[in-house]
Amino acid sequence: MTQPADGDSYSCSSLTSTSRMREEAQGYRKEKSFPFETDECLSFTGHRHLTAQDVERLDALLPQVLEEYYQQGKRVFLSGGALGFDTLAAQAVLALRKKHPAVQLIMVLPCHSQASRWSPADRRIYQDILADADRVIYVSEDYFPGCMQKRNRFLVQHANVCLCFLLRCRGGTWTTVSYAYDLRRIIRNLAMEI
């Protein structure tokens, strides 16, 4: 799915964001130290809690979709490292990199303690992904209210494609997709494809 015409929607009635986010979208600046162009980057955003059926379908769909974007020239994939969709997407990128060594996985994390309250099994998967990532970026050293949103803005600002799994018109995924819409990013919602 590409950027819609004004008034079109992805899965909810509208992608209207707050006025503060609109102001940020109009005046955003790409991080100077980020060495990649937005045209070569794709970012992920999606829900943390997925059904077993969603996981099964995404495990089948993500490799195909990522291969498609690789063939279109995407080489740098940005994941926020959250549970759920972010984790599945990062694992799919690592599998794609085995086939195409030019692929890079960049983990963009809100803070060092993101996984501190996760289950031991989830923390092991997270640590394995971080160890295999080409680069890990922390938008903040320590947790603070708003560090997750800062991470989400970074993801959108540094990639011209936002690949998402959006089922609900509320929460962090919704806010991130709304911000991507405001920045005129290409948005593709895999929830509409499974």
Domains held by the chain: number? 1
Assess if residue 83 is contained within a domain: yes
DSSP, collapsed to helix, strand or coil, labels residue 163 as strand
Instruction: For residue range 32-63, list pLDDT tens digits in order.
Output: 678 999 999 999 999 999 999 999 999 999 99
> Residue 156: which of 137, 133, 174, 177 has the closest Cα?
177
Assess if residue 16 is contained within a domain: no
Q: How many residues does the chain have?
A: 194
Assess if residue 171 is contained within a domain: yes
Assess if residue 14 is contained within a domain: no
Assess if residue 39 is contained within a domain: yes
**pTM of the full predicted structure?**
0.86
Assess if residue 183 is contained within a domain: yes
Lookup: tokens for 34: 């980020």
Assess if residue 26 is contained within a domain: no
Instruction: For residue range 55-94, list pLDDT tens digits in order.
Output: 999 999 999 999 999 999 999 999 999 999 999 999 999 9
Assess if residue 15 is contained within a domain: no
Domain extent at residue 159? 35-192
Kindly report the CATH number assigned to the domain that includes residue 118.
Answer: 3.40.50.450
Give phi and psi for 132, each to the nearest 5: -90, -10
Instruction: For residue range 159-170, list pLDDT tens digits in order.
Output: 999 999 999 999
